[in-house]
Structure 1
Amino acid sequence: MTPVRLALFDLDHTLLPIDSDHAWGVFTQDIGWCDPSQFKARNDDFFAQYQAGTLDVHEYVRFATEALCRRSPEEAAQAHARFMREVITPVLLPAARALVEQHRAAGDRLLIITATNEFVTRPIADALGIEELIAVRLARGADGWITGEIDGVPSMREGKVHRFEEWLAANGLDWSRVDTTFYSDSMNDLPLLERVRHPVATNPDARLRRIARERGWRILDLFEPNP
């Protein structure tokens, strides 16, 4: 049986030259949803923890969605549409779009797998024309709106492997029936990079670039190379 060809993409610093989660936090600060004197320091600290691989994702999601939980779904949607126009669309660069389209033209099935939550990332995936999205699922209360908690296993570090295997099973597939390429910039994604057939260190941080060189993985710099 011919394996199904899958192209998996991390999002932040892989297809985007920014971190959409951190950028959303800055945006909510700029539109007055939170106290800038307190929010910026915590947001920057959480981002540093993510880069260091020490982030408590549950704690971070509670922080990152706190202001969102206090808004109505309609107000949240309007704010995100503005976020897309002002922050995301200008950084959806041709090199990243071309990479996605290259795999689409080859007939590969496309999937974004990200540690950023689904509220932030669903419209970004739509803008890239990628229907399949594995993101941090947000728990919802009796009113149908988000609570600040995570639903299920977060798609981060080893959790990306778990969530991808859930996706495979839901689609009647397993590792033996797929030929998977995964693009990522981060050491946080090493567990999934080690499982796929074609790992591609994309705009990699210094640690991942070193490992990619040692293991003979492909290195792709879509944007300015990291030092």
Structure 2
Amino acid sequence: MDLVLFDLDNTLLNGDSDFAWAQFLIAKGVLDREVQEAKNIAFYEDYKAGTLDIFAFLDFQLAPLARHPRAQLDAWHREFLETSIRPMITPQARQLVDGHLASGALVAIVTATNSFVTGPIAREFRIPHLVATIPAQEGGAFTGKARGVPAFQAGKIERVDAWLESLGLYAGSFERSWFYSDSRNDLPLLERVSNPIAVDPDDTLRAHAVEHGWPVISLRA
């Protein structure tokens, strides 16, 4: 059996679900535009530059989940999926995922974006496993904090290893492994698999991929 891992934002999606979710809430009037939009843009620029403070970002990103009942959050997310996410999914991305699923590989999305935002997106792709940052809950309600290690940079390796262990597997269980990503932030996990693939990569990842002979592909129309 093969292992196939996909980053989500700017890889399978032609856009960033984390950034888009905050912008969606701003547009709905749930978040204050004047205060929150500048913060959202600043965090996104830090992420692209490889300088993101993941814990400060999670405090910003998860706080709205704690202010609203789950039923309301789910209703907003259904609208978000339809209006913001589906337009980001290209035919090339669906075809790539479908090919790996049809091969019988163990397939997962591995993303720093929290599982509330990304769970429905994984289901949209029919990908059965999601390794994501987990929003903490108490009594069925979100607390506004993360639980455990964020699935970010080297944290993705720790979270993937824990997920595989929960299945009775480990990295050496697979004859071949793939990880598809666009970002310099994913270099630790890219260097761990047998087949690292740079997808519409940022400049740092593109240079690293070219230097090391990694394939560089595009999933955008």
User: TM-score normalised by the shorter chain: which range applies?
Assistant: over 0.9
Tell me whether 1:188 sits opposite 2:167 in the alignment: no
Equivalent residue for 2:37, pick from 37, 40, 52: 40
Instruction: Select between 18-27 and 143-152 the one with higher mean Cα deviation.
Output: 143-152
User: Residue 138 of structure 1 aligns to a residue in which SS?
Assistant: strand
Pick aligned residue for 1:173 from 169, 174, 181 = 169
The match for 1:107 among 92, 101, 104 is 104
**Residue 137, structure 1, aligned to residue 141, structure 2:** no
Aligned partner of 1:91 in structure 2 is 88
With 166-175 and 124-133 compared, the bigger mean Cα shift is at 166-175
Shift of 1:91: 1.8
| TM-score normalised by structure 1 residue count | 0.94
Q: Residue 209 of structure 2 corresponds to which residue in structure 1?
A: 212
Moved more, 17-26 or 61-70: 61-70
SS at match of 1:42: helix
Distance 2:122 2:64 in 1: 23
Give 1:159's match in structure 2, choosing from 145, 155, 179: 155
TM-score normalised per structure 2? 0.97
Identity of aligned residues (%): 43
Cα deviation for residue 9 of structure 1 reads 0.2
Alpha-carbon distance between aligned partners in 2 of 1:164 and 1:22, rounded to the nearest angstrom? 23
What's 1:198 paired with? 195
How far is 1:90 from its partner? 1.8
Q: Which residue of 1 aligns with 2:142?
A: 146
Q: Take 2:163 and 2:49, find their aligned partners in 1: how far apart are those partners? A: 28
Distance in 2, matches of 1:18 and 1:100, equals 17
C-alpha deviation, 1:68, in angstroms: 2.4
Contact kept in structure 1, 2:179 and 2:197, CA below 8 Å: yes
1:116 to 113, 116, 132: 113
CA distance in 2, matches of 1:166, 1:98: 28
* Structure 2, unaligned runs of 5 or more: none
CA distance, structure 1, for counterparts of residue 210 and residue 86 of structure 2:
32
Aligned length: 220
Q: Deviations over 1:10-61 (max 9, x none)?
A: 0000000100000000000000001100111000001111111121212111
Q: Structure 1: any 5+ residue segments left out of the alignment?
A: none
Contact 1:58 1:149 in 2 (8 A): no
Amino acid at match of 1:156: F
Q: Which amino acid aligns with 2:5?
A: L
